[in-house]
Amino acid sequence: MKYTLIFVLSLIAIASAQRPWYAGTRPIGYPDLGSRFKEDGDVNQAPSRIPNLNDYYNVPPKGIPIDAHGDIDLVNRLNSWPRQNRPFWILNAEQIEAHRNTNRNRYASYNNNNF
């Protein structure tokens, strides 16, 4: 009888140790939205104002750094600042664009020379 009681208590301890009490009783998965972010009638739905960053058509226009997230006004405002005060990501994007495809142009000029 003593061993049976110890066995049952150990099974209960093992079963209750699988999920902590503060994690709640909901199944494991995506967390629920806070009540301040929910609108009336929403049940476990993400807000619609968050853009889908994995969308194929959500690509920033050419000539804008990827860090600007398609905000041309931000790029224009930062370009009006003195060069020493601009953020690194915009200076880096300018340098990358300046050196892009320079090797391809050199190869094409070598290829045109016929010996």
The domain segmentation of the chain, as residue ranges, is 65-115
Is residue 95's pLDDT more than 70? yes
Q: How far apart are the first and last CA of the chain?
A: 100
One-letter amino acid for residue 69 of the chain? H
pLDDT at 39: 72
Neighbours of 68 (CB within 10 A): 19
Is residue 45's pLDDT more than 60? no
Q: Are 102 and 96 in contact (CB under 8 A)?
A: no
Q: What is the mean pLDDT of residues 37-45?
A: 65
The CA-atom distances, in angstroms, between 90 and each of 3, 47, 66, 83 are 71, 31, 9, 10
